[in-house]
Structure 1
Amino acid sequence: MIQLNTLLVDDEYSAIEGLRIRLEAFPEIKVIGSAASVDEAIKLLNDNDVDLIFLDIEMPTKSGFELIKYFQPENCPAVIFVTAFHQHAVKAFEVRALDYLLKPIKLARLSEAIDRVTKMEKIHRKNELIAVQQVLSDDLASEVAIPTHSEYQFEHENLIIQDAKNPILIIPFKDILWIDAAGDYMCVHTSLDTHIMRARLKELEKNTLPDDFLRIHKSTIVNLSYIKQLNPLRNSEYMAILENNKSLKVSRTYSKDLKRLFTL
């Protein structure tokens, strides 16, 4: 039987304990920890392999949706939102939540949600959550319109993106914090916005990005000038913290090259 490492995130202690007791009836669920805030959850995620998160939405300081922003496309556990408020349901499914449970949770609905998780292959779940980068990108006020076709080119110190429906975008390389893959699209993140273009990471690499850019993950390239800190994780991996406090996971495959650049 597959066991899912599960994290419970809720600012109410009674809610966490009540859910923990209910989950004891499901042998496929292994609760590895709980958190009362998004920041506490991120610390646990840095130190543990998590397959499933039961996530409250309305919490002090940061909502459950803020935790979704933390994930990279290939670093996404399954998410089941647990909340007392039904009005968040639409947004929850926009970010590809696996299920949406209303408090107080009925045992039948909990069983249905868990059954749904166990039937889905983990890699399939990660691919579905790629859309998170398009819906909840940092500093993005509304949903991003995905271009049906776009072209790009490198010109001097700029990345130029153009498609048939939108104005030509000229993005200075020095303004790009990181770039990540979202299926057949690329998300180009600056401090103020996220730009979407139809391309693959391999295509970008062929065009030779400036020396300040380094691949740190199968799906992520970062601008080295924006990294302010490297936090070690397990298995020789790291978490790169950018100047805007965005956290990007550095996989073991690419960690040596990055660490070498930051070692005196």
Structure 2
Amino acid sequence: MQNNSGTIKVIVVDDEPLARKGLRYRLEEHKDIEIITECSTGQEAVHAIMTHLPDVVFLDIQMPELNGFQVVAELKKTLTTLPIILFVTAYDAYAIKAFEIHALDYLLKPADDERIAEALDRVRASLKQQNQSEQSDKLINLVAGYTGQSATDVLEKLANDEPVESSPYSDTMAIKDGSEVTRVPVDSILWIDAAGDYMCVHAKEGMHIMRKTMKELEKELNPNVFVRVHRSAIVNINFVKKMVSHVSGEYHLILQNETELKVSRSHRDKVKAAMHS
């Protein structure tokens, strides 16, 4: 992602030294461009991109051993978000495939100053849109967390100029252990399950035991975040990685820490709805 200084971090990848030199010369004419490294092979490119996480990669397609398309394929195995890819090649036969893998632009060698400038304008517009989208998402999620409402509900209310009210739910849970009281941040709780007359509160920092009923806990916790998955368990939906079905027809939740919890038939639809809200 583009840093706060407005500098666009670039990696140039080409197996031809003269091609790299020519592109570097043209890019250096633009004050907001910082070339952080250059690579002459696909393997070097994969390592450099994963190490430096640039905003943009000018990527040659035809290279020995690992070509430009294969570089992108390797990156997709590890990175959840790819940098902006600008393919550079001497052949226009690759254009369709380049855009099929969502390249922002496709430059034919030798690209002149005007064509480079045009590509960089597209890069700037794309990065600006990404930054605005990311900031908007962060703000919406922040408001959602504060109000106890889902991000979808917050967006809908903002769109309709409706007030977004604060949450009636506490952001900490007081757990008494003998003469001590521990205040556990609610957003650190992964799940809660019943053990006889006690509740086991599984939080990031460890497990806590408290004497309270499941119904009492449900009243204290935000139902948009904490969902009942079966008779004796409540899950923080923000820590759910996925829901899987087994051959037996049972559904299970896999949490981010790989804990697996069964979802009862009566709560299945509610859990699915919470995961998609």
TM-score, structure 2 normalization: 0.46
* Greater Rg by CA: 2
Q: Which has the higher helix share?
A: 2
